[in-house]
Amino acid sequence: MILEDMYYGNWRPSEQIKSTEPESQKVNQKISDLMEILKNKLPEVDFEQIEVMFDLLSESTSLHSAAAFIHGYRTGALTMIEIFSGEKEFANINKP
């Protein structure tokens, strides 16, 4: 149940999203291929810095995704409030 998962902190929408877009899969494969090339070409210390950068980029993306989720959720909630408050106005228009 979503509410129970939210309560216990087990609901993480960003972990449930798996892109099925072929373009996304191609990009991820290119990243993996390039990382392998760099791992073989660069000194270990330099490659570790690239891995740290990727970890930071992942964290940044996660924070952005959370902000986008919150914004979308709020927008949806505000839309519902507007719809339901407009329902009263609509009901008054239809009365003789």
Q: Where are the domains of the chain?
A: 44-96
Rounded to whole angstroms, how far apart are CA atoms 12 and 19?
16
pTM: predicted TM-score of the whole model, two decimal places? 0.63
Q: Check: CB of residue 62 under 8 Å from CB of residue 15.
A: no
Give me the pLDDT at residue 71, please: 93
Q: Check: CB of residue 82 under 8 Å from CB of residue 90.
A: no
Q: Can you give the pLDDT of all 96 residues of the chain as single tens digits? A: 777 887 888 887 777 777 888 898 899 999 999 999 999 999 999 999 999 999 999 899 888 988 998 999 899 999 999 888 886 666 666 565
**85 sits in which H/E element:** helix 44-93
Give me the pLDDT at residue 21, please: 86
> Among residues 68, 70, 36, which one has the least CA distance to residue 50?
36
Give me the pLDDT at residue 14, please: 72
